[in-house]
Chain A
Amino acid sequence: MKWQYEIIIVVVVTLIILSSSSAVDAFTTLSSIATQQNWRLKSVLLQINDDIFEDDDITSLNIDGYIQQQRRRDFIISLLSTSNIIIPNSSAKAATTEEEQCKNGRILPESPVPGAYQQVCMNLDERTFTLTSIKEDNSITVYQGTNSGAGEVAGRTGGKIFCVHMMCTYHMHFLSPLAFSYMSMLYTHTL
């Protein structure tokens, strides 16, 4: 039964690591589970990196005890490096998610940052759009001004807000409500 038990643990640990945003988060989760269940992580640790940790080092310790030892740092570093090899690392995973989110020019929420607005898709080096009214040659790819994409072009988001003007336009309705509401109703097309 021992080998079956170890396989189960490895599968569970792998799932936890994959679902975590970083290896440190995965480690925290594992520690929590191990503490609650009083598991010994011999097979887990050996699976992650058996070059550093000898069998005897682990078998006599549960994870809480091990963390308090001076080799904790080595363990974390080992876990980080190993997880980056055996699973997509966190940055790669984020990039994939980001690209999927932004696929074909989806409109996503922007968040204000000082002097500009920021959006997750602005971090992509390039974006691709498909025109639907034509059938051939209907794809457009554009580079954005990211550092790695097109060089430094005054940051990634662009400047957009200029305080005086923002306040002015924000209060325009109050300055002349009749005039502007009239024009909006008659002449503009509102989504």
Chain B
Amino acid sequence: MTTYTSTVAVWNSGILLTRLLDKLNESTNQSIFKDKSIIELGCGVGLASLAVAKLGASSVFATDANTEVLELAQRNIQQNNLNDIIKTTALQWGLMDATEYESTADIVIGSDLTYNSGSWVVLAETMSTILKQDGIVIYLTLGHSGFNVGGELGGFLSVAENTGMRVLTKDDIEWKEKLRDVQSVNELLASIVTSEERAVIDANGGARVVILGKKRFGRKG
């Protein structure tokens, strides 16, 4: 079994995530990322990290397991003069590496991370570890030919629930604090694609976005 990731190009999912972050910034009156600490998992060329840095984040860790990819991301950070805000970091998913960043992220962002079912557990552990107690994960996955994106995300969420994560809805306190008046991420998604782009996305099984938070023990959200 060969397992490698080298996200050297800008993927559709990365574009869609970047647009969604931009839209969330607009919908929250530019508050969602302001002065927040962000960690991107699987940053690739670093597009989403660059976006949140521009949108007001105080610190961003652009992480990827592939050091060659990180070199490219670093070059892009320099290109956009965001060295002071974004740091690239090699991060292997799982508790071992994640504990170095324990409870440091207000927001974790990522796209197309769940295609490999073998990494669901370590990915969920990483999210759960690096996220602050009141933090949120903004995760987007896009269908591809040959993949069942619904099954992929459903499988990951079932694993994530066993590692201390939970899916947030608009009634949860973290959602209200971070996403404010956003009623539906689905509606935001629909508003950021053209009809032609939607046809492209639908043809490959659609897109899914999920907002995750940490489980709250002993108190209600």
Contact = CB atoms under 8 A, between A and B. Distances in A.
A binds B: yes
Contacts of A143: 45, 72, 75-76, 79
A3 interface: no
B208 A133 contact: no
A155 interface: yes
A129 B153 contact: no
Given A131-B55, A191-B198, A142 B47 contact: yes
Contacts of B15: 105, 107, 129
A169 B152 contact: yes
Contact of B72 (A122, A133, A145, A188): A145
Interface residues of B, number: 76
Interface string A134-176: 1001101111110000100111111111111110111111000
Interface of B: 1-12, 15-16, 18-19, 22-23, 25-26, 30, 44-47, 50-51, 54-55, 68-69, 71-72, 75-76, 79-80, 112, 114-118, 144-148, 150-155, 157-158, 167, 169, 184-186, 189-190, 193, 197-198, 200-204, 206-210
Contacts of A184: 150, 153-154, 208
A154 B68 contact: yes
Contacts of B167: 183, 186-188
A39 interface: no
A2 interface: no
Nearest to A140: B50
Contact of A179 (B30, B54, B158): B158
A121 interface: yes
